[in-house]
Amino acid sequence: MGASHSNTAIVSGHVAKGYETVQEMFKKNVETGRERDAQLCVYVDGEKVVDLWGSAEGDTTYTADTLQCIFSSSKAVTAIAVAQLAQRGLLNYSNPVANYWPEFGQNLKAEITIADMLKHEGGMPHLDTSVNLDDVQPHNLGNGNLTSILAKQSPLYPLNTPREYHNLTAGWVINEVFRRQSPGNVTIGSWLETEITKPLEIDVYMPVPEQLMPKVHNLKAFSKNMAFLQSLLPNALGGQVDYNIIVFVKVLASFQRRFLEEKRGYAPDFPDMDPGMDPGQFLTTFFNRTKWRQGESPHGNIHASARGLGKLAGAMANGGTLGGVEILSSEGWNHLHGNPTVQVDGSMGNCRTEFTQSGVNMFNDYPDDIMGERVLKSGRNGFVGWMGFGGSVMMWHPRLNLGFGYTCTLLTWWDLANSKARKLQKEAARCAVLAKEEKEKKVDTNNNISSVASS
């Protein structure tokens, strides 16, 4: 019963010697239907050691180069673009947003800095007025509709912490700063194409170019009832929800509060987000729209392949450079990783995050981690980056020089730790450690042999 798609599943690609267990884990996820379509790409020491993709239903149009929305994994990509601007001296994280965009300073926001926004401490996790999809289209970003909504917003903070996760709002704010400060006054989307996508030759886009729209695969999601039924079935018998029914009911309530219900008077991020709609219907109806793919929401709607994310993450793991292409100088790399602070996040059940000034998270284990923090970070100690709603991950491990990219089309909306990717991360890191130890052992053996021969 566990191999529910074993007769139809297609898994392709390759892994380097020593990473076979990663391949087996990925293959099992696809063959059991825990993933419908997925991609995984891992770089170690600047070399691609894992390059896998698969479809549970045998969809041959799903390839290694297929694009899908990566949701908040976009934050890691955007952070790199912002660090590029900072390394050119065009932006200072410590400066108030209002230094670059004076209108933003109204309604008690004059002292909110760039770093505050990117660390989710801007007091704007949501807005009082919904944003229309038309207003995040590239040709409309300068029309004043979006900027007016953002500028008029008053900050509101949770009790006892300045941090509350900003789903999309900080990305919209930083895009306006970017548009005002970048050479040629381009947006993050245009900058991404010329300064990251083309130099590295990767499939990472915002918006998706018209000619590449056919490469985008639609997202899928279980209905609430289907997810509920899956939670009743043990994983060993093919259950596709990691939580048991008791935990799943709590997760469902948390999802409803975090994403759909009006909070403290906030409006939905977009008018079409209906709190009463089933998550499976809402997610696939809204986020498969062409207009969503055509817009610029830098913290939520980048579309990419795992190959693209893995290669970019590999460059970050390697100090900002890969294959002779410099994305960040050492100064820019330090900007990206600079000034991390640990704070409880008011929207994450008292879990702490450790965001840097550029908006990537440092995953470090602490002795006093609570259960939620252990779930979020297990297997990720030492990684930097972030993950996207439903399953995607873009992270890198500087000490291991490991870049990790994961994408998928089945949105496991109940799993905010992206557990399938997390387990693959843990295994990839384990394999990387063993490979380095084996390499060092061979070097030591050769040196000893040379020493004996010379004596």
Quick: pLDDT tens for 55-76: 999 999 999 999 999 999 999 9
Describe the crossing of helices 306-317 and 74-87 by its angle, rounded to 10 degrees. 40
Lowest-confidence range among 180-184, 195-199, 282-286?
Answer: 282-286
Instruction: Please report where in the chains the tokens 């040196």 appear, as a residue.
Output: 447
| pLDDT of 283 above 80 | yes
Burial class (CB in 10 A: 0-12, 13-18, 19+), 80: buried
333, 332, 350, 334: which is closest to 342 by C-alpha? 350
Q: Which helix (H) or strand (E) holds 50?
A: strand 47-55
Q: Which helix (H) or strand (E) holds 293?
A: helix 290-294
Higher pLDDT, 235 or 372: 372
State residue 395's pLDDT score. Answer: 98
Q: Please, which residues have CB within 8 angstroms of residue 320's CB and are 6 or more apart in sequence?
A: 326, 327, 328, 329, 330, 332, 333, 336
Question: What is the three-state SS of 152-173?
Answer: HCCCCCCCCCCECCCCCHHHHH
What does the pLDDT look like over 68-100, one tens digit per residue? 999 999 999 999 999 999 999 999 999 999 999
Lowest-confidence range among 67-71, 153-157, 281-285, 373-377?
Answer: 281-285
Tokens encoding 342: 């640990």
Sign of the four-CA dihedral 132, 107, 351, 310: positive
Describe the crossing of helices 224-232 and 279-287 by its angle, rounded to 10 degrees. 130
Confidence of residue 311 (pLDDT cuts 50, 70, 90): very high
Question: What pTM value is reported for the model?
Answer: 0.94
State residue 4's pLDDT score. Answer: 73
Sign of the four-CA dihedral 381, 387, 393, 399: negative
- Cis-peptide into 340, omega within 30 deg: no
| pLDDT of 275 above 70 | no
Tokens encoding 156: 């509101």
